[in-house]
Amino acid sequence: MIKLEKWFLNRPKHAQRVIGNAEKLLHYVPLKKGQVFLELGCGNGAVSKHIAQKYLLNVTGTDLDAEQIQCAQEASADIPNVSFLKADGTNLSFRENVFDVVLSFGVMHHIPNWLGAFDEINRVLKPMGYFIYLDFIYSKWLMAIGRSFQHRYGVVTVEELDSFAERNNYSTIHSALSKSLFIHQYEAVYQKG
């Protein structure tokens, strides 16, 4: 991430908006105290920290950016049920079937091998666990252009997400697409079969 993007993402106003989005989608998930929760691409940890405090889940936040992880660790040093570590979303060090819930907000468009990240989410998520997703989705006509930059960015379509969910026996609990001229935003809550 470039410095300007970090500045934008680390603003309190942005954190409030992302926490609001998380709250909206968490309503589709039956949360219970003590469940194990993973946030893939946690940035400065605002969402992970909020979830650990409000829902009393055991939360792990991961991000590839060491500076963001350091910020998250410093901001949550007094919260015992949240931890942060630097990790590549396409090669997670967790065992299989560890997490009850995995959340990924605004991350996949940063991961060229986004399908590898989805495979890792599928691997670490318990059967009957929930995958909460929110990110940019390319329109069909812009996808062709985006694919030429795919060595640096993840270019995901709704059809590809649906295909991933079907191949891995996920049911869609909720999904919504917000459209703009170029890039759409897609949100979904899936349950692993």
For the chain, give the percent of residues with pLDDT over 90. Answer: 68
β-bridge pairing 183-192 and 99-105: unpaired
pTM over 0.75: yes
Average pLDDT of every residue of the chain: 88
CA dihedral 99, 102, 108, 113 (to 10 degrees): 20
Distance (Å, whole) CA 73 – CA 22: 20
Residue 9: pLDDT band by 50, 70, 90 thresholds?
low
For the stretch 154-192, pLDDT in tens is: 667 788 889 999 999 999 999 999 887 666 889 999 999
Residue 14: pLDDT band by 50, 70, 90 thresholds?
confident
| pLDDT over threshold 70, residue 117 | yes
Distance (Å, whole) CA 139 – CA 177: 11
Distance (Å, whole) CA 41 – CA 17: 16
For the chain, give the percent of residues with pLDDT over 70. Answer: 84
| pLDDT over threshold 70, residue 64 | yes
Give the Å distances, CA to CA, from 119 to 22, 85, 146, 161, 164.
22, 20, 22, 12, 9
pLDDT value of position 137: 79
Stretch 118-129: mean pLDDT: 98
For residue 20, the Cα-to-chain-centroid distance in whole angstroms is 14
| pLDDT over threshold 70, residue 102 | yes
Q: Please, what are the domains in the chain? A: 3-192 (3.40.50.150)
Stretch 21-26: mean pLDDT: 97
